[in-house]
Structure 1
């Protein structure tokens, strides 16, 4: 029995033209080879299974080909190409940096670079998973990578470009590989099925392409497993069964039950799914993707984002037209929250059923929100603008009494808006669309308020005392009463009020503030203000933190709302007195031998060394 070779190895591309989905890379490399503008270091980065190592091997084979084609491809006939295809070439060296990531491994590699190739023009060094090298290994590799011999070419491959040092990136020509599209994957799988004489449905190949997520290696591995499972007959149903994927038909049935608010059918359908062995998080994730596809179908601009089996596309479009976007967006929020909280739920089945119950009655919630929006819109439309009246300008009192008012002065002047001139503080209330209220006075520019007089209005009304005048009178009365009952500011009662506030701080256990308040000195400036004298900025900050409650306490104590204070910093004057400080070890010893000379004699006899 012949040894079986997996499709990922058997159908690995041997030329640039056979590489799938990376035309922007292969075209650039072929042009560089034809124009003899080949760089000495390349960095191939991109997702797994998209052809990085394959392109590196093809590049190594092509630049050493003895009979290179006109389009920049290798001939696959010469001795060099045959040795490359058989894996026996001495001009290509591959290093797996995931397991050989030490400095010694890189030093061994750099020592090999010194030897020129025995056959061919170039020696190619391919370092796979280069981001796994240690920082020391990268640093040991820098000089060789920057100035290699003319026959040496380095090709670095990685899936995590961000982990590579910038010094390495700056020395390489970077090529970014992209994920292989589903269409390219399906075409390549169909080509392999034709070569292997495998019966396949296009729908099954599309499911495999979606499951591989742009990785050709995964797609070929899945193909091999399903072919073995089905004995060479690839169908849509057995592909779903082998990949443990829930058929989209279940999601369509779930959606129909939810739109009809048929909770029984939805729960029975989920019970059937659960009995087949599908986990709840798989159902939530699959249904969320299904709702997302329905939302995509509603807009022609983004219809290209729909990645489903072609046989279901028409059904998706027809179903999407029956469901409102508001319901779909709300359903995505419910499913996303349920999927996030699934891991922490004790009863997984009940957790999924609760999400399905919410989705079944979601239409009622959406309808209530829409109705609330309509009512709010009607209220907005019913609002009317404020009705203003044109009022004639009045004649100033001083000019009328002086008798020098001219007819031209009494003549109404045109104005952009209605100006209202009011005598003293008396205003007239006017009925507005929002109810009865006071009209705000507007004083003409250049004239004081006391010179204004009452105006004539088209509506005859008796001047009444407005709300603004009442408020002003009340404030004046309160201030007058407060001034009569306010305590006088003296040193004795100020100290008493200050002590009471300190007692409050003691009750609050704010000991730091208590200490600083006790150190402060108080100086009376006038009848309604005093000064707090402190010695430092720290003391000032502690008092400033209590400003709000302190001023309220003092104003309440004196019954005087106009009471205020200021904080003054006066540093303490140094009177020249020296503070005592502790003696050092040497000073203590000198003082001791001065008082007790025998101690010094004892030290000298015993030849002691003191550590001062």
Structure 2
């Protein structure tokens, strides 16, 4: 029994003419050989499985051939060609840089360059996956790569050219290999099938070519797998089943159902596909690729971008006539979002179902045609409604305070000194009032959205500069009246925005413990517990005034700070003291403690 050899090795090209899909590149190499104008270093780069190492070997064999043909091909009969075919040539050296990437490996290779060839004209060193070399190995390689002996030629191959040093790139002739097209891959697979005596359906070979994603080696590997499963009769049905692929007809059907807003039928189809063993992530990514092909089919200029057979290209064009550009854009956006969230989702099936429902509702009107209201309108509207709105960051505002006034105000220090930032000529545009509801105890209940946003650019080294860069307030002739509850609400909201920045967490925590109150409207007093905090507030008082004036819609507000008197200082209670206080002052809390047997740990 003959030893089995995979098709990727058995049908590996042995001449430039047999290389698939790289005509321009192979023509350039043959012309260089015929003219004798050979560079000392070549760089072959491109995707995996497109023929980089194969072309390097063919090139090495051809330049050492004793009787090359007129078109630049090796004869295959001379001693050098036979030695190459039998893998005993001493003129061709291959180094796998993935496993030999140290300086020592490169030094050993450099030692071999000193010995001229005994048979043939050139010594060819093929370094595969050259981007895996270490930086030290690259540096040791640079000088020899730039000025090798006249009989030495280097051929570097890589899939990631971007990882190579610019000093390496500048020393090489660079050849970029193209990805294999579906027609070229199908033609090559036909040749292999005919030589192996297999029967095939062209649609099956097209599916294999698309699955290979531009790599001939991948296509031949998939072909071998499918041939084993099909027992030499390669049909579309068997290939789809063997490779666990989703039949493209399902994608066409999903899009047709989505255009008709048939969510129920879409869910039934999805369930059938999942029951057949299809992965939800593959369904989403495959549908996104399908819709991309439909979008490319809408314009005659982009039809060549389709990587599919002529038969399916016609189907794509027919479906493209039914789909609007907006539907395709929205569907791609939805599917891409699902693809990004798929791995992190704890309920993947539900995520896929919601995604397909959302796609099926893109063209659905908000209300049904018979006038009956839908169960929540469109799905995306429902999501929008249940998501709490985050307010825009509070726009920092400042009155038209002159630089001299700011400088004078910031210079004032000490207990009881009023530090205000007001200007009669400045008014604040009236904002929308934050809704407040009273709880049973009379305390204000704040909306979650009121505490959102960011507290950007809180402090400046110089308050004079800060006032100059503040956004001017629009004067609408109104000054809203506010009470202590509204003042407390906006003060807490400002503190929460400050706490979102790491450098202000400590200051924001201290400010939360302060209770600003109205002394004589619109005068506001803030009693500070210590001098350090008082100094910190003075440094940012312009920004504090600007924020409160904006949020309270009153530019006439005056803010003053003072140190608390000894009689005003409150004792900081320990957890046991707080627990006892709550039990004595809150009957409901005391009731829960007794009923549940709660204790402070």
Alignment correspondent of 2:18: 18
Does the CA-based 8 Å contact 1:505-1:514 persist in structure 2?
no
Pairing partner for 2:532 from 511, 521, 526: 511
Specify every segment of 5 or more residues in structure 2 that has no aligned partner in the other structure, as ranges. 369-523, 549-555, 557-601
Residue number in structure 2 paired with 1:56: 56
The answer to which structure, 1 or 2, has the higher relative contact order (CA under 8 A, 6+ apart) is: 2
CA contact (8 A) 1:207 1:309 kept: no
**2:304 is aligned with 1:283:** no
- Residue of structure 2 equivalent to 1:307: 307
Q: Which residue of 2 aligns with 1:152?
A: 152
Structure 1 pair 225–366 and aligned structure 2 pair: CA distance change class (3 A): farther
Partner of 2:86: 86
Q: Contact (CA 8 Å) 1:91, 1:123: kept in 2 or not?
A: yes
Name the structure 1 match of 2:73: 73
Deviations 1:283-330, CA, capped at 9 Å, x for gaps:
111222222222222222212222334333333322322232222222
Counterpart-to-counterpart distance in 2, 1:163 and 1:241: 39
The whole-number CA distance in structure 1 between the counterparts of 2:363 and 2:51 is: 48
Mapped to 2, the partners of 1:516 and 1:128 lie a distance apart of 65
**What residue number does 2:108 align with?**
108
Between the aligned partners of 1:314 and 1:234, the Cα distance in structure 2 is 24
Between the aligned partners of 2:317 and 2:353, the Cα distance in structure 1 is 27
User: Aligned ranges for residues 395-544 of structure 1 at < 5 Å?
Assistant: 507=528, 511=532, 514=535, 542=539
Q: Report the alpha carbon displacement of residue 506 of structure 1 after superposing the two structures with TM.
A: 6.1
Is the alpha carbon distance of 1:105 and 1:264 closer, same or farther for their aligned partners in structure 2, counting shifts above 3 Å? same
Deviations 1:464-484 (A, max 9, x none): xxxxxxxxxxxxxxxxxxxxx
The residue that corresponds to 2:402 in the other structure is: none
* Deviation by residue 1:93-136 (Cα, 9 ceiling, x = unmatched): 11111111111111111111111111111111111111111111
- Pick closer, same or farther for the CA change 1:276–1:514 going to 2, 3 Å: closer
1:18, distance to aligned residue in structure 2 (A): 1.2
Give the equivalent residue in structure 1 for 2:321: 321
Equivalent position SS for 1:214 = coil
Change (3 A) 1:62 1:350: same
Q: Secondary structure at 2:302's aligned position in 1? A: helix
| Residue 44 (structure 1) aligns with | 44
8 Å CA contact 1:506–1:514 kept in 2: the answer is no
For residues 44 and 363 of structure 1, the distance between their equivalents in structure 2, rounded to whole angstroms, comes to 48
TM-score by length of 1: 0.61
Aligned-partner Cα distance in 1 for 2:319–2:124: 56
- Deviation at residue 366 of structure 1 after TM alignment: 8.0
Distance in 1, matches of 2:173 and 2:151, equals: 17
CA deviation after TM superposition for structure 1 residue 258, in Å: 2.7
CA contact (8 A) 2:183 2:309 kept: no
Distance 1:75 1:354, change over 3 A: same
Q: Relative to 1, partners in 2 of residues 1:548 and 1:165: Cα closer, same or farther, differing over 3 Å? A: closer
Which structure has the larger Rg? 1
Give 2:422's aligned residue.
none
Does the CA contact (< 8 Å) of 2:21 and 2:180 recur in 1? yes
- CA deviation profile, 1:352-396 (whole Å, cap 9, x unmatched): 22222223332224899xxxxxxxxxxxxxxxxxxxxxxxxxxxx
Compared CA separation, residues 46 and 506, structure 1 to 2 (3 A): same
Instruction: Report the Cα offset of residue 551 of structure 1.
Output: 12
- Deviations, residues 180-202 of structure 1 (Å, cap 9, x unaligned): 22221111111222222221222
Partner in structure 2 of residue 240 of structure 1: 240
Q: Are residues 20 and 308 of structure 1, via their aligned partners in 2, closer, same or farther at CA, if it must alter by over 3 Å?
A: closer
The CA RMSD over aligned residues, in Å, is: 2.9
Give yes or no for contact 1:44–1:176 (8 Å, CA) kept in 2.
yes
The CA deviation at 1:12 is 1.0
Q: Please tell me whether residue 130 in structure 1 is matched to residue 130 in structure 2.
A: yes
Distance, in Å, in 2 between the alignment partners of 1:271 and 1:194 is 39
Tell me the CA shift for residue 345 of structure 1: 2.2
Q: Is 2:204–2:234's contact at 8 Å kept on the other side of the alignment?
A: yes
CA contact (8 A) 1:52 1:157 kept: yes
Residue aligning to 2:187: 187
1:374-429 alpha-carbon deviations (Å, 9 max, x no partner)? xxxxxxxxxxxxxxxxxxxxxxxxxxxxxxxxxxxxxxxxxxxxxxxxxxxxxxxx
| SS of aligned partner of 1:362 | coil
Counterpart secondary structure, 2:37:
coil
- Following TM superposition, by how much is the alpha carbon of 1:267 offset from its aligned partner in structure 2, in angstroms? 1.4
Quote the offset at 1:62 in angstroms: 0.7
Contact 1:203-1:310 within 8 A present in 2 as well: no
- The CA distance in 2 between the partners of 1:90 and 1:366, in whole Å, is 76
SS of structure 2 residue aligned to 1:13: coil
